[in-house]
Amino acid sequence: MREELIKKHLSRDIIPFWKSLRDESYGGFYGEMDFELKLNRKADKGCILNSRILWFFANAYLTLKDEICLDYAKHAYEFLKNTFYDNENGGVFWSVTYDGKPSDDSKHTYNQAFAIYALASYFGASKDQEALRLAYALVDKVESVCRDELGYLEAFNRKFRPVDNEKLSENGVIAVRTMNTILHVFEAYTELYRVDNSQVIAAKMEWMLDLFAEKIYNPKERRLEVFFDNNWNSLIDLNSYGHDIEASWLIDRGVEVLGNTRYEEKITPITKELAAHIFEVAMDENSLYNECEDGRVDAKKVWWVQAEAMLGFLNGYQKEPFKKEYLNAVGKIWDFINEFMIDHRAGSEWFNELNRNGSPITEKEIVGPWKCPYHNGRMCFEVINKGIDF
């Protein structure tokens, strides 16, 4: 039974690996390990990485009831509160130095979202009211500065003055708005609503669901558009397979948490279509390709895409149990992950990216600003909590 293998992998491999990166001298967790497993103890520490580690240990505690994991979550929380949070201007910095001084002091909506997400989960695990207050302080900043009447904006300097969105723009464009940022603001608000049931947050979630349905989803192409100008015009012909399959279940989760039947009727056909389309165009015999730009498929295998594919197809099967092919795909992807994506070297975790043939791309780090326990850890938590045999 694969569920038991995944639970063992979480307990024996993923959790101990991230525990080993705890920085007892300066706080937080070390920010960089290269492909050769060389740890850089003086690398900058990214807020996205730290937030995701905080989220991971809070949810490890909630899933496994292991008090030690809650202690690691508290360690990450203290570092976020004391070093990343800007007490003068509000918001969290992009990164700090290894010893906790601002390094990249820019503010990004995506970054604020992950801090909110982590703080909400930490409150859910610890009942620490200070964490909840800090989450709402970040929400206030996001809602007062990082959005306009059309949607969420992206990048700001330390004082929340707009700057070019280089950090979350790729493929040769600079986007004013991105699908990725609004997806993770929605995810953060879903978690905050789950733990605190604020109707103000519910209203913001409904507003974002309308944006997904009316501005971001492309019914002709059966995909979410990725990069936009200020008026929601798509800037590039790009299908991000990983984001679409991730969104298919994250958006469903938000609708479920809201419990609003009107939005269930509006959104469910879209999320079903996203999962069906990705199954048709992005799956090979055992795993998911990365993306498709201008009709050209990027066939490399990325760690987070495989983890999200498992959850997207598992969610798709739960919504439509007659689609056994989704459940079969979940098993195939896990078998691929277990054979190729997990780095079975002692002292490691998952590879970052693989070539199409399954060989690791050695230029990619094992730990970095984006390489973290969020996607693969979440896959483990969800599989354990769902209890579906595949």
Average predicted confidence (pLDDT) for the chain: 97
- What percentage of the chain reaches a pLDDT higher than 90? 97
Instruction: Check residue 68 and give its pLDDT.
Output: 98
pLDDT at 205 over 90: yes
Q: How many CA atoms lie within 13 A of 162 on its CB side?
A: 13
Instruction: Check residue 236 and give its pLDDT.
Output: 97
Q: What is the pLDDT of residues 317-346, one digit of tens each?
A: 999 999 999 999 999 999 999 999 999 999
Residue range 2-381 in CATH 1.50.10.10: yes
Instruction: Check residue 125 and give its pLDDT.
Output: 98
pLDDT at 138 over 90: yes
pLDDT at 221 over 90: yes
pLDDT at 143 over 90: yes
Instruction: Check residue 66 and give its pLDDT.
Output: 96
What is the C-alpha to C-alpha distance for residues 283 and 280, in angstroms, rounded to an integer?
A: 7
Q: What is the pLDDT of residues 33-53, one digit of tens each?
A: 999 999 999 999 999 999 999
Q: Where are the domains of the chain?
A: 2-381
Instruction: Check residue 186 and give its pLDDT.
Output: 98
Instruction: Check residue 380 and give its pLDDT.
Output: 98
Instruction: Check residue 171 and give its pLDDT.
Output: 86
What is the C-alpha to C-alpha distance for residues 225 and 209, in angstroms, rounded to an integer?
A: 15
> Residues 353-379: what's their mean pLDDT?
97
Burial class (CB in 10 A: 0-12, 13-18, 19+), 265: exposed
Q: What is the pLDDT of residues 224-278, one digit of tens each?
A: 999 999 999 999 999 999 999 999 999 999 999 999 999 999 999 999 999 999 9
Q: What is the DSSP letter of 51?
A: H
pLDDT at 23 over 90: yes
Residues 6+ apart with CB under 8 A from 42: 98
DSSP 254-321: HHHHHT-HHHHHHHHHHHHHHHHHHHHHTB-SSSB--EEETTEEE--EEHHHHHHHHHHHHHHHHH-T
What is the C-alpha to C-alpha distance for residues 62 and 189, in angstroms, rounded to an integer?
A: 19
Instruction: Check residue 297 and give its pLDDT.
Output: 97
Q: Which residue has the tokens 């991105």?
A: 178
Q: What is the pLDDT of residues 71-123, one digit of tens each?
A: 999 999 999 999 999 999 999 999 999 999 999 999 999 999 999 999 999 99
Whole-number Cα distances in Å, 356 to 236, 299, 360: 24, 6, 9
> Residues 207-221: what's their mean pLDDT?
98
- What percentage of the chain reaches a pLDDT higher than 70? 100
pLDDT at 133 over 90: yes
pLDDT at 389 over 90: no
Instruction: Check residue 1 and give its pLDDT.
Output: 79
Strands (E), the chain: 45-46, 95-96, 107-108, 155-156, 177-178, 217-218, 223-224, 227-228, 238-240, 291-293, 296-298, 301-302, 353-354
Structure tokens at 353: 């990216």
Instruction: Check residue 348 and give its pLDDT.
Output: 98
Residues 6+ apart with CB under 8 A from 125: 58, 59, 61, 62, 70, 73
